[in-house]
Structure 1
């Protein structure tokens, strides 16, 4: 299959117009149209429905567009890796982590990374599913457990615990629980025990629910749990890395917490010399060092 025709098809499908694609490719509309028709003839199929308002992909066109989109992404990634040098950090970096850690800890700190490396393009993929790094679903991961694959470089970043937090306003209105049994008189905000989350959090939720808690609010990620807490809806089960960035949160029943949850950074062995990976790794480590230092000083004062 002719690559030039595929490249032109991809541009047309992405732009939805022969004219717009031609402008991007610096080709005339007629030249773009000829290439698309030639591709359709070679495949013996129709790739676009042609309307006065533009072009709409057919079912066959959608299949081909999915393929060319994946090809373009891999080519862009490969190009950026080839251009990696000791002095420059640029190009796409695909980072995966959990919704909670990504939204509540990592994303708010990325401004510092962009200040240092303005040409870096980060694709932040937040989901509880563990993406396959060796199969290149992502370049680097921050995970709430040690990666199991043998062909990954991994570094332990820190440890967290899952604990109970509430807002001052909620506690002023409903009172501060003195024992775990007192939680029966409060609303508990947490993830459902069957939702995707670290096992330590799920076990803690199950233990607390054994106390005949009548009012519950289930949210499928920690960002939502936090929103419920800061809006005075109840006592939330949240990771303790929030304590510095959200100093108004009050730790409830400090003796109640999950077992230690390790946080690891991991990336494929083949990316050992990637400058983008090195830049991101060093940035995360520096931020964690600063976080620990500030948290320690906060506790002392």
Structure 2
């Protein structure tokens, strides 16, 4: 690839400053919901949530245990995100090795029903309805879908038992937030009077939503620079709003420095903001070789400057 072609390709991979700031805002919003001692369940390729887990361990929750899907291991401590090489960090350092049967029939039911330690997992569905029910099976009629999705995995079981359930959506759009699901693979809030102790929380690139008094999702936080009109325009159903909507606290210089240096120096968390050709090209570049420095800049030049200043 010529230098000219390489530069052009790399420019297609770069997100705007706004998109990069939104990514880091989502990561810190998730990390701040984690409590010390939580049992953190990682997904495969869910770099945003794994970044949040590692950041929380660095910041305020060092005693959390990670369930790592690559190798089915329980691991304490932190690690830097990799693209398909997690086993080299997780398997040698694991305190326990499990098979899928043990995870689903022993650990998950015991923690969900017993409540200690808290099971914390941020999952990314393709569709979310007003009550927080989700779809990760197909788009279109199940008999003849237009798009087949990864599948629901443990979401049907977990969503019917957990009292606290987390989702995230890197791109807040009408295609994600829909009035009715094409296929229901994750239970939503059962409604007023039937789920008083259940809360579903959804973190997006625009806002934070949580179950309201009647179970329907309502906006509790707007991220910095986002307006109510922005959220309403990108949501496919009528939104409910908390009586006192807050502005999400932005990432601190320390959090951004940890993300860029120790948690995710290759910027894998930004993959979840990309789609189509840009995502495919980025994945090929990451998998093929170490990227030139110019193609993997810090999450935001301003953030890095602030982090460096705070460290001096």
> TM-score category by the smaller chain?
under 0.3
Q: Provide TM-score, normalisation by structure 1.
A: 0.24
Q: Provide TM-score, normalisation by structure 2.
A: 0.23
Larger gyration radius, structure 1 or structure 2: 1
Of Structure 1 and Structure 2, the greater helix share is in 1
